[in-house]
Structure 1
Amino acid sequence: MPAPTGEEIAFERCEDAGAFAELSDSLCARIASPLHPDMPNAGSLDLFVRKFPAQGERVGEIWMLAGGPGETGQSYFTEIEGFRAALPGYDVFIPDHRGTGQSSRLCAGETPDSLAGTALAGEEFGPCFGEIWQNAERTTAFSMTNAAHDLDYLMDELGGEGRRYVYGLSYGTGLAMRFTQLRTVSVDAVVLDSLVPALDDAEHDLSHRSHTYDAVGLAVIARCAADPVCDARFEGGVNAAFNQLIVEIDSGERPDLAEYVPGGNLKHALGMMLDTPQSRALIPDALKLAIETPETLPAFFETEVTPAFDLFAAVQAYPDTAFSITLAGLIGESETNRRPEMTAEDVAQEEAGLGFTSSLTTVQTFTQMPLYQRDSYFDAPYENLPPILVLQGDLDPKTPLAGAERHVADMREAGGDVEFVVVENAPHAVWFFAQTCVQQSLDAFFNDQSPAASCSLDQAMRPS
């Protein structure tokens, strides 16, 4: 009998497999990975990987990279059945990045057995950040490059024969591209869903998130203005009404709105509503209520807007799904925010006049982490790229179409073979809203054909 492979030794039935039908045949593994890949004697950390075995005859594998930085691989679980049906011959591997989920975390307060589980709560914050600073050498090892080394290591240790693909979503696309720069294992292709801007793109980095939101939000307002029925709902037209409302908010004339909208900030609430097609379609309603009957906004958000996010809220049913704000702060300040010196006052001044904003830009100004030095891969030109498929929504408020187009141009300039599919009316995270398009694009791409240059949302995801 042949000796068992590393994969056969490592994987076993997941503890939660019986709790969720979609996880029933999943297998789980924990594997030690070097803390510093270039320092073999510097210790190790644990990486958690879940595997969904191929349905039918196996032809290869696909590795799914979650977003963030800070999201767990569980963000894929609610839609995993559709993905497996689209790729029946592939093992699907979903790792938790270092610092997330059931992989080693940055502090003890984020571990599953802590007071609030993997979330930080109450009195856990102080000790956690104290631990992060006291162990700064360990903390700074949780970099994007080291996470890419983890992927390389996991593929080598746990991967099998046949075709091998990587599917990255949002931050996972940036991680996938970092992986292409350092990989030692071979991959047949990379799929990038909601492509992050190139790291040297100073117009679309995280410090400009509110500007990205506002650009998409203004496109939504323009569509209302072009619709006679929608435009007629507002005295003088939607453009004039919207602009006047923003002037009043910025001048302090509408303090009442803070009482009626989630988080006390209408601009943030409007920005949040860009994240799903259903909530985006409600923006004219929100503006109408804010202008005329603001006291009705709480009920509106509770009964109309919140249900539009059920798709994402469903992920919370899985254990250890809490987003890692510490990892997001570490990588954001060290790499993906080109202006970490910005203060809250700078942000407020820069965002005056914008109608759609993100709380992230202000939150970043309060996050203090022991930063790591940008390494040789940061801003380095691409070389020897595998074939790449990019799936991008044209109304993505987080990773904008313009940023993706520029990033693709960089890849092509480096000789990359890149297929670019624009998904009409799609927000961030195309897979969750246009699965038919994604499936058709993957099928063509994996069979060495060019997918359609554009496609649409799934019928069920189109607002009625």
Structure 2
Amino acid sequence: MRLFLATAIAALASASSLKAGWFHCPLFTPSTNGASGGGAAARAAKTLGKYWSKHDLIDRERIHARKSPQDDQDAVISPHSVPASTCASFEAPLCYPGLCDSSKSVNVYAKRIEATSPPPPGQRPTAVWFLQGGPGESSYVMDTLMRQVYTLFNGSVSVYTMDHRGTGRSTYLDCPTVGASSGGSENSTTITPHELPECLAEVRATYGKDVAAGFGTTAAASDLKMLIEALNEGHDTFVYGVSYGTFLVHRLMQLAPTNVKGYIFDSVVGPGTPHFSQWSVLNKPVADLLLSYCSKDSYCRKMLLGQDAHDVLQRILNRPNGQVCGDLTAYDLRAYLYMLLQAGAGARDFIPAIIHRADRCTENDQIALHNIQQAFMPPSPRPSFNFVDVDNSKLMYYDIIFSELWEQPTPSLDEMKRRMDANLMGTDMADYVTVYCYFTNSQDPACRDIPKANAPFVYPVDKYGLAKSTTIPNNASVLILNGDLDPQTPPQGARVLLNRLQGGKKRLITFPDAAHATVMTTPVKTEGMVTCGMNLVAQFIYTNGDVASLDLACKADLVNTTFQIPPETAMKIVGAKDAYNGRVSRVKATTMSSALNESNSNDEELKVGGLIVVCIVGTLVLMAVVIQDVKKAKRAAKEKATDATTAAKAQDTAAKTEYDPVTV
């Protein structure tokens, strides 16, 4: 007889309730999409100089006082000292009571690093869970955050993650016989509308006709609740979610597990909002904000010849026939700038230079624009015939967004295009209308001309999704973090969540220059320190969820947005030392527009931020190079000024020596 999570909570922590027990497994799980969860993130962390000290949280004052990692070399914990992680697969019902009806089961994968140091005297053990976004993304990017928090606390906390049912090493939602998400399908791993009818028919034949809720948010939150209450009994448990992970954490709060002490929301998908169909509407203010930063910055405005950045970009996008510069179209430029805005500091710093060169549009500018595009968005090779990116389930993604995060009735194709055209930086969601119609089999006016697939795979919004407010459990508190320059989850979603939550133990902290995933996109100027976002998360855990006592000193140390590209960085990216006006000395083979189209076709979810933390980690290395180049340039300027002062003093002394006798 199969043992289900829902009927085996008391025994779940024992090996007998697992499918095969807990096994040692790699902490950093290689991604099937070609990016290593450990490699890219670890290289980025090393480049950014993130060292973790035993004393950082034992004595919180030292978080702000320590000047460099060298001050604590004897206390630095090597990543190699982190104990081996263990992984397990649990069996859970496909349909929890009230969600759908089925006797089938699914597997739920979990990973952990267990605490090796006891908690302080008189305190309960602490457990921290990390939940990835998407929806549809696996947990492998959480590996880095698990190690970071474990090391910050000197091994005194246990850290966990899980793969949302439907993706990763949990039961993967797919149509393997049709092969629509394999490398050998007609559009590689992107499922096309043409492939959807048979793909959805296979899914329904495999799991049942009305079981889409079995891969939805409430089902995954129920898995998480069962695991926490079984594995972390007697612990103070904290749950961190990023992007769609915040939507999942909010649903967990509605289920009110008994031993969760704190809920951490990083980059919020606001509950009760059609986040994905209103993508262009929600992120328009973020693009406008960045452009206003440029217009208020004396250097940036000077580089744009005194013109307002918003006005210049609008003028470029309004050029005849949608051609803005060479073979670069207005459509491509909007998407291209959005991708850089989404990537955060480092990448987005090039946006004014791109605007300036697109405005002038000489032959040399076209080469420069091409080189910038190649540096940030290189085309990806087509994967092998049988390759399936199990770290990303597009079917699960569509199942959840069309059920809970999309307007109903759906906006029309024309309306989606209008929203896109009203945004200076953005991605086209119009193609999703067709996918919506296939997934829902809807009779909406926008779906009338689209053939019916007759194989819907969506679920009705349940009582949790329909609720207008959420009560924070009596024993819990809430920390909400969001970046003002986050186009994937703009800050208004965080404010929606804050107002929705009923209870006094909550706090929203925003960062004026942060992009998506604040634990990664809030670097500080002081070398050797963790990001400000991670600092606050660690404090929240350390103080047992006391939001009132959080020390915000790290916000004063944040790296600010800069539009001054260091010459060495400009040479690497643009091919000229002056990113705005330099003559380019090199060129690559692929045109900008074709590379952009190829990049988008290889993974459609990149266009709407489906790939949440993964793309951020992938750009952190480059972001780190830019930040380090800025610091290097500032140090060089300071040294140059010092040298100039010394030389002037020496020259003055020599002059005086010439006329005045030296006295001793």
TM-score tier (shorter): 0.7 to 0.9
The aligned residue for residue 418 of structure 1 is: 506
Give the structure 1 partner of residue 391 of structure 2: 322
Q: Between Structure 1 and Structure 2, how many residues are aligned?
A: 438
Distance verdict in 2 for CA 1:333–1:54, change over 3 Å: same
Shift of residue 166, structure 1, vs aligned partner: 0.7
Q: Distance in 1 between matches of 2:311 and 2:511?
A: 30
In structure 2, how many angstroms separate the alpha carbons of the residues matched to 1:122 and 1:378? 27
Offset, 1:327: 1.2
Quote the residue 2:550 is aligned against.
451
Please give the alpha-carbon distance, in whole angstroms, between the structure 1 residues aligned to 2:29 and 2:165: 26
> 2:93 touches 2:103 (CA, 8 Å); kept in 1?
yes
1:128-165, CA deviations, whole angstroms, 9 ceiling, x for partnerless residues? Answer: 33323444323342111111111112223333432111
Higher mean C-alpha displacement, 102-111 vs 151-160? 102-111
TM-score, scaled to structure 1: 0.84
- State the match for 2:335 in structure 1: 268
Matches within 5 A, 1:112-123: 116=183, 120=189
Secondary structure, counterpart of 1:431 in structure 2: coil
Residue-by-residue CA offset, 1:170-227 (whole Å, 9 max, x unaligned)? 111111111111234421111111122231x46xx22221123321111111111112
- Cα distance, 1:65 vs. partner? 1.1
Q: Per the alignment, do residues 99 and 110 of structure 1 end up closer, same or farther by CA in structure 2, a change over 3 Å counting?
A: farther
Q: Secondary structure of 1:137's partner?
A: coil
Distance 2:29 2:503 in 1: 47
Query: 1:235·1:241 contact (CA, 8 Å) conserved in 2?
Result: no
* Selected match of 2:347 from 276, 279, 286: 279
- Identity, % of aligned positions: 23
Corresponding position of 1:6: 13
Match of 2:132 in 1: 66
Higher-Rg structure is 2
Taking a change above 3 Å as real, the CA distance of residues 321 and 42 of structure 1, as seen in their structure-2 partners, is closer
Q: Hey, what does 2:532 align to over in structure 1?
A: 437
The match for 2:96 is: 37
> Any residues of structure 2 matched to 1:133-172 within 5 Å, and which?
133-134=204-205, 135-172=208-245
Contact 1:340 1:365 (C-alpha < 8 Å) held by counterparts: no
CA contact (8 A) 1:181 1:377 kept: yes
Q: How far did residue 358 of structure 1 move?
A: 2.2
1:316 aligned partner: none
The answer on whether the counterparts of 2:112 and 2:158 sit within 8 Å (CA) in structure 1 is yes
Q: Which residue in the other structure is 1:371 paired with?
A: 458
Shift of 1:105: 1.8
Q: Distance in 2 between matches of 1:301 and 1:402?
A: 30
Please show how residues 165-244 of structure 1 align to structure 2 within 5 Å: 165-199=238-272, 201=273, 205-235=275-305, 237=307, 238-244=309-315
Taking a change above 3 Å as real, the CA distance of residues 96 and 76 of structure 1, as seen in their structure-2 partners, is: same
C-alpha offsets along residues 82-129 of structure 1, whole Å, 9 cap, x if unaligned? Answer: 2322243211111000111011122243999x9559x94689955533
Distance in 1, Cα, partners of 2:200 & 2:266: 32
Structure 1: state its 5+ residue gaps. Answer: 308-318
Change (3 A) 1:115 1:174: closer
The answer for the alignment partner of 2:591 in structure 1 is none
Compared with structure 1, are the counterparts of its residues 431 and 324 closer, same or farther at alpha carbon in structure 2 (3 Å cutoff)? same
Alpha-carbon contact 1:165-1:189 (below 8 Å) kept: yes
Q: Find the aligned partners of 1:172 and 1:389 in 2 and give their Cα distance.
A: 14
User: Alpha-carbon deviations, 1:288-343, whole Å to 9, x = none?
Assistant: 2222233432211123x349xxxxxxxxxxx9663222111111111012345123
Contact 1:420–1:453 (CA under 8 A) maintained in structure 2: no
Equivalent of 1:46, from 84, 107, 112? 107
Whether the 8 Å contact between 1:64 and 1:93 is mirrored in structure 2 is: yes
Retained in 2: the 8 A contact 1:170–1:429? yes
**Counterpart Cα distance in 2 of 1:253 and 1:40:** 51
Q: 1:77 to 1:362 in 2, by over 3 A?
A: farther
Distance 2:102 2:284 in 1: 48
Q: Distance in 1 between matches of 2:270 and 2:290?
A: 22
Aligned partner of 1:198: which letter? P
* Equivalent residue number for residue 169 of structure 2: 102
Name the counterpart of 1:403.
Answer: 493
Report the CA distance between 1:16 and its aligned residue.
7.6
Which residue does the alignment assign to 2:84?
A: 25
1:427 and 2:515 aligned: yes
In structure 2, C-alpha distance between the alignment counterparts of 1:241 and 1:209, rounded to whole Å:
23
Distance in structure 1 (CA, Å) of the matches to 2:347 and 2:250: 31
Kindly tell me: are residues 453 and 358 of structure 1, through their superposed partners in 2, closer, same or farther at Cα, counting changes over 3 Å?
Answer: farther
- Shifted more, 134-143 versus 219-228: the winner is 134-143
Question: Cα 1:362–1:454, aligned 2, differ >3 Å: closer, same or farther?
Answer: farther
Give the drift of 1:365.
1.4
Residues in 2 aligned to 1:401 and 1:121: alpha-carbon distance in whole angstroms? 30
Supply the distance in 1 between the matched residues of 2:26 and 2:304 (Cα, whole angstroms). 55
Counterpart Cα distance in 1 of 2:211 and 2:503: 37
Closer, same or farther in 2 for the Cα pair 1:169/1:16, shift >3 Å? closer
Report the AA paired with residue 166 of structure 2.
G
Relative to structure 1, the CA distance from residue 98 to residue 122 in structure 2 (aligned partners, 3 Å threshold; closer, same or farther) is closer
CA distance in 1, matches of 2:346, 2:178: 35
Q: Deviating runs (4+, > 4 A) in structure 1?
A: 15-24, 114-117, 121-127, 457-463
- The 1:93/1:40 distance shift into structure 2, 3 A limit, reads farther
Is 1:34–1:40's contact at 8 Å kept on the other side of the alignment? no
Q: Which amino acid counterpart does residue 300 of structure 1 have in structure 2? A: I
| 3-state secondary structure, aligned to 1:105 | coil
Distance of aligned partners of 1:110 and 1:213 in 2 relative to their CA distance in 1, 3 Å threshold: farther
Greater shift, 288-297 or 95-104, is seen at: 288-297
Q: 1:215 to 1:299 in 2, by over 3 A?
A: same
Q: 1:129 aligns with which of 180, 192, 200?
A: 200
* C-alpha displacement of 1:350: 2.6
TM-score, normalised by the number of residues in structure 2: 0.60
State how far apart, in whole Å, the 1-side matches of 2:160 and 2:314 are.
47
Check whether the contact 1:260–1:297 (CA below 8 A) recurs between aligned residues: no
CA deviation after TM superposition for structure 1 residue 240, in Å:
2.8
Cα distance, 1:372 vs structure 2: 0.6
Cα distance change of structure 1 residues 239 and 376 upon mapping to structure 2, 3 Å threshold = closer
Cα 1:125–1:99, aligned 2, differ >3 Å: closer, same or farther?
Answer: farther
* Equivalent in the alignment of 1:84: 150
CA RMSD of aligned residues (A): 3.3
Unmatched 5+ stretches in structure 2: 1-9, 31-37, 39-78, 120-124, 379-387, 440-456, 523-529, 560-622, 631-664
Residues 183 and 239 of structure 1: CA distance in aligned 2, closer, same or farther (over 3 Å): closer
| Conserved 8 A contact 1:190-1:388 | yes
